Amino acid sequence: MRDEEVDKVLHNAAGVAPRVEAALLKRIADSINSSLRPVRPLPPTWVLTGTLALICAAVAVGAAACTGFYGIGKLSPWERVLIFSTLGILVWVAGKEFVSQLIPGSRQHLSVSAFLTIASAALLGVFALVFRDYHTDHFISAGVTCLLTALLLAIPAAFLSWLLLRRGFAVNALAAGAAAGGLAGLSGVTMLELHCANFQALHVLVWHTAVVPVSAAAGALVAWALRGRCEI
Amino acid sequence: MDSGSNLDTLMARYQAGDFAAATALVECIGPQLHRFFMAQSASRSDADDLLQETWLRIHRVRHTYRPGEPVQPWFYAIARRVRIDHYRRASRTTARERRLEELSDVAAAFPREEAQGDDLETLLAPLAESQREVILMLKVAGMSLEEVARATSCSVGSVKQKVHRAYRNLRDRMNAMGPKKGSSGGLT
């Protein structure tokens, strides 16, 4: 049997009239018509992505302004360009990923897990290139402080992003939560690069990079916990 | 009524709060979605429930559809998620964790209560869940590979692979049943 014959069988079987009760369709139409109001379609993806990127940048710069720009002050110009352009690209991609999770049936070039892997690898690569001081002091205590600070900062970034896109998420809640967490985590990493003056390679490679996957995991966990309550 | 451009227009009018467009959309897309659920759930009442739940969700997030974008992937992505959520809820309440592939095996082993021998649901019953949904979208909804990829959140290559495997399974089954039955669509 050839594919054309399988096609023909499928076509014949699909031609049988769908069996759905008219009363059911009428009930559905009546129930949605009872609460039907005009809605405004979402703005273009680039507008939403740009707004999310601005939120992340504003939160990171605001927090660094409060705590001090010690980190960026110690970096050379090319190191600043390398680190912050990488972070900018990652924030843009994460924002786009988050927006695509909002819109059912949108084209997804990258899964959330693939994005998180690529983002972590990119950060590791850039940090390995820039930071060469391999001696370590207070590895755990200094690292945990940085991780917690960045994660605390990710909370307002995630909250503001959620405020922007709160009406929606009819599809994969866990992926949306992870994308939001990843985006907010990048905001936290940006703040650390602006503020943290600890340039020991292991500190930056381990603790600064860890912010993104940990924040994404926290985002997925929150989305999972809220899934039933918010019907997302 | 079921062409892509008409659906786009209806969807835009639905977003603008047009009662007639909302009703027309339910009548146009509803049977397709119902069939999508019928082919993947064990009972008609489940399919009815899933259809109602899907429309509630569609209504709640109707602002996320953007005019100009293909409308069928938008509907099917929501329907697919409703089915997955329903399956997970059902798994939790019955405390029976069964894999989707196992479910399709069960469906193949025990004929459906409404099986008529030549309907699409019976024909697709032996396929794995992921293969069945892409065949339904391609052959019943008439979506393109790109649209199916959007609805299922995977790549076009992955969709092609699922279709290829589904066709291979169907071919094997039809060959096993004999050419006479296969060509007339009877596979039970």
Quickly list DSSP for B142-181: ---HHHHHHHHTS-HHHHHHHHHHHHHHHHHHHHHH-HHH
Residue B98 in this model has a pLDDT that exceeds 70 = no
> Which residues 112-151 in chain B show a CB within 8 A of chain A?
118-120, 123, 135, 139-140, 147, 149-151
Give the rounded percent of residues in chain A with a pLDDT score beyond 90: 56
All domains in chain B, ordered by first residue: 1-97 (1.10.1740.10), 99-188 (1.10.10.10)
Q: Do A18 and B32 touch (CB under 8 A)?
A: yes
Q: How far are the Cα atoms of A8, A82, A193, B112, B167 from residue B184, in angstroms, in the given order? A: 9, 65, 68, 20, 17
The stretch A1-21 carries a mean pLDDT of 73
Select from B23, B34, B140 the Cβ nearest to the Cβ of A20: B34
Tell me, letter by letter, the H, E, C secondary structure of A97-127.
Answer: HHHHHHCCCCCCCCCHHHHHHHHHHHHHHHH
pLDDT digits (tens, 9 = 90+) for B117-141: 457 777 787 888 888 889 888 887 8
Residue A12 pLDDT level (bands cut at 50, 70, 90) = confident
Q: How does DSSP assign B89-130, residue by residue?
A: HHHHHHT----HHHHHHHHHHS--TT--SSSHHHHHTTS-HH
pLDDT number for residue A93: 94
Q: Do B185 and A9 touch (CB under 8 A)?
A: yes
Q: Do A105 and B77 touch (CB under 8 A)?
A: yes
Using DSSP's 3-state secondary structure scheme, residue A133 falls into: strand
| Nearest chain A residue (CA) to B114 | A19
Task: Please indicate if any CB of chain A lies within 8 Å of the CB of B4.
Answer: no
How many residues would you count in chain A? 232
pLDDT number for residue B97: 53
Residue B110 in this model has a pLDDT that exceeds 50 = no
Q: What angle do CA A71, A77, A81 make, to 5 degrees?
A: 85
Q: Do B22 and A19 touch (CB under 8 A)?
A: no
Q: Do A28 and B26 touch (CB under 8 A)?
A: yes
Answer whether A70's CB lies under 8 Å from A63's CB. no
Q: Do A6 and B171 touch (CB under 8 A)?
A: yes
Nearest-Cα distance to chain A for B160, in Å, is 14
Q: How far are the Cα atoms of A7, A41, A157, B62, B124 from residue A167, in angstroms, in the given order? A: 41, 11, 17, 10, 36
Locate A79 and state its tokens: 């190191």
**Amino acid of residue A44:** P
CA-to-CA distance for B136 and B121, rounded, in angstroms? 9
Q: Given CA atoms A42, A46, A47, A53 in this order, what sign does their dihedral have?
A: positive
CA-to-CA distance for B179 and B182, rounded, in angstroms? 5
pLDDT digits (tens, 9 = 90+) for A121-145: 999 999 999 998 888 888 999 999 9
Residue B183 in this model has a pLDDT that exceeds 50 = no
Q: Which of B28, B119, B120, B169 should we substitute to test contact with A (largest number of A Cβ atoms within 10 Å)?
A: B120
Answer whether B118's CB lies under 8 Å from B185's CB. yes
pLDDT digits (tens, 9 = 90+) for B14-72: 999 988 999 999 988 888 888 888 887 767 888 888 999 999 999 988 999 988 888 99
Select from B17, B147, B171 the Cβ nearest to the Cβ of A38: B17
Task: Please indicate if any CB of chain A lies within 8 Å of the CB of B23.
Answer: yes
